[in-house]
Structure 1
Amino acid sequence: MKIILNSLILKKELKEIKNLGFVPTMGSIHKGHEYLIKKSKKECKNTLVSIYVNPTQFNNLNDYKKYPKDTRNDLKILKKLKVDLVFIPKTEDIYKKRGTKKIALSQKDKILCAKYRKGHFEGVIDVMDRLTKLIMPSKIFMGEKDYQQYYLLKKYIERKYPSKVINCKTIRDDKSIALSSRNLLLKPKSLVVAANVVKDLKKIKKNINKQKNIKIYLKKESKSLVKKNNIKLDYLEFRNLKTLKTSNTFKNSRLFIAYYLQNVRLIDNL
């Protein structure tokens, strides 16, 4: 496993490499990341994992500062997984050149997390644009827990580069909580609440098919979720996976949620 700390060395390393799989991460590697890495190793000859907490995608400075970091442990895990290359850039390395075009979301894309986290996806797309241009992977592997992120990046990256963005299933713990680096910030009591929220979501989704008006049903269930679990809810919405438009049919649709526990923002989709 080669650890690379700047883009000049990375360019030299990548010169002769073809069929490269890329797994972008912000560190705090968990089983969800491991699944993406194994998928990349299966489909590509070489695998590169990046570890970079991108400041431009945080619309809250405290959230950026609190984001869990444990690079030493990350490298131990990545070594066991036999990753070929690990890229750990500094911010000045990624942003030494200004983008030629400012990233702007269309009005129809300002939904779900984009509605509540202004500038977040613009930051995500910008950094992934820079990383993809630098790495030029054959495939980029992303988890579907961050489905809106996957949806927006697939549209942007595949239009601009020959790289394919591959969607991978959400990995959950034994209580069905979607794995996330942010979970490390939660106390045991809050993890119990998160598990209860997933149980409630499963029940809500199961009953969606019986509803005449899904929007009214979800409004009622949102109030119940907040009261029962003592959470702050950003949204609970049922949307089509292909278009991310609000859906009135069960086919190709999912329940999307974003909520706060201990001031930690969690997202999921079922």
Structure 2
Amino acid sequence: MKHTKVIEKPQDLIEYRKKYSSIGFVPTMGALHAGHASLMKKASSENELTIASVFVNPTQFNNATDLEKYPKTFEADLKTCGENGVDVLFFPQFSDIYPDNYRFKLSENEFSKLLCGAHRPGHFDGVLTVVLKLLQITGCHRAYFGMKDYQQYKLISDMAKALFLPTEIIGLPTVREASGLAMSSRNMRLSAEGKDKAKLIYATITQKTSPDKAREILTANGFVVDYLEDIADRRYVAATLEGIRLIDNVEI
């Protein structure tokens, strides 16, 4: 198991990473699971230095309760980093990332207004702003994202191209539990019964049915469906169960 160095201050990380010619980066909000581990392994296999971050970013939460309840498991996260080839864990505080107190923000005016963006005002402004900051701080050549949140992955990939960032944005397939449920830090907040029921999301969106029919199936089983839509070649869903919002997507 690798010893993972913890760095808290952006300037310290900027200095530390200067001597490396190939840097891979995995941004996370902690509560790490096998999906994160797959990103870390990939980054470690392709780069001289692998950095992961744990930062629960307040600017992307439009629900204060959701932010408050987000799982925080630092010691376990550090262990996961060491087990999966991470050299540095970047663990900043709000004032480190937002010395301007979020005075400056990045917005996208098309895809970010659909799906999650339509139901979570300001969410993607927060996501894009923090990711841009993290890419600048880490100076990474490659950044790795899971495609469970495909809308997020697509927006970040498009942002990197639009702003001429030197970072290659790499998307890896969604890691799923044996039931098909997409791995998520939020899953640990579900009861055993809820977790069993949550597998219906994947089972339903992979059926050859219309979005309306799929939405009906989930609603009939106790889910509150924010959206279930087909856009281009992908079906997207966000559904709440036991007060916990779960997202997924599949190619169609």
Determine if the alignment matches structure 1 residue 232 to structure 2 residue 224: yes
Number of residue-to-residue matches in the alignment: 246
Cross-structure match for 2:138: 135
User: Structure 2: which 5+ residue stretches go unaligned?
Assistant: none
Tell me: CA distance 1:132–1:100, structure 2 relative to 1, closer, same or farther (3 Å): farther
Q: 1:64 aligns with which of 43, 62, 67?
A: 67
Runs of 5+ consecutive residues of structure 1 not aligned to the other structure: 209-216, 241-252
Mapped partners of 1:129, 1:120: distance in 2: 14
Give the share of equivalent positions with the same residue, in percent: 36
Aligned ranges 1:78-93 → 2 under 5 Å: 78-93=81-96
Task: Specify the alignment match of 1:169 in structure 2.
Answer: 173
C-alpha displacement at 1:102, in angstroms? 3.5
Letter in 2 for 1:220: K
Alignment partner, residue 4 of structure 1: 7
Secondary structure, aligned partner of 1:140: strand
Shift of 1:17: 1.3
**Residues 236-268 of structure 1, C-alpha deviations (whole Å, 9 max, x = no match):** 11122xxxxxxxxxxxx1211000011100000
* 1:256 and 2:232 matched: no
In 1: Cα distance, 2:120 partner to 2:93 partner: 24
Superposition deviation, residue 194 in structure 1: 0.7
Aligned-pair Cα RMSD in Å: 1.5
Q: Does 1:76 align with 2:79?
A: yes
CA distance, structure 1, for counterparts of residue 84 and residue 105 of structure 2 = 37
> Could you tell me which residue of structure 1 aligns to residue 249 of structure 2?
269
Shift of 1:107: 3.9
1:67–1:101 CA distance, 2 compared to 1 (3 A): closer
Distance 1:172 1:85, change over 3 A: same
1:103-150: per-residue Cα shift (whole Å, max 9, x none)?
222145311111111100000001111111111100000000010000
Equivalent-residue separation in structure 2 for 1:19 and 1:136 (angstroms):
9
The one-letter code matched in structure 2 to 1:92 is S
Question: Pick from 171, 176, 183: which aligns with 2:187?
Answer: 183
8 Å CA contact 1:176, 1:195 repeated in 2 = yes
- Distance, in Å, in 2 between the alignment partners of 1:103 and 1:80 is 34
SS of the aligned residue for 1:76 comes to helix
Amino acid at match of 2:89: V
Distance 1:102-1:83 versus aligned 2 partners, 3 A rule = closer
Equivalent position to 2:36, from 20, 33, 37 = 33
Between structure 1 and structure 2, the one with the greater Rg is 1
Query: C-alpha displacement at 1:196, in angstroms?
Result: 2.2
User: How does the TM-score come out when normalised to structure 2?
Assistant: 0.93
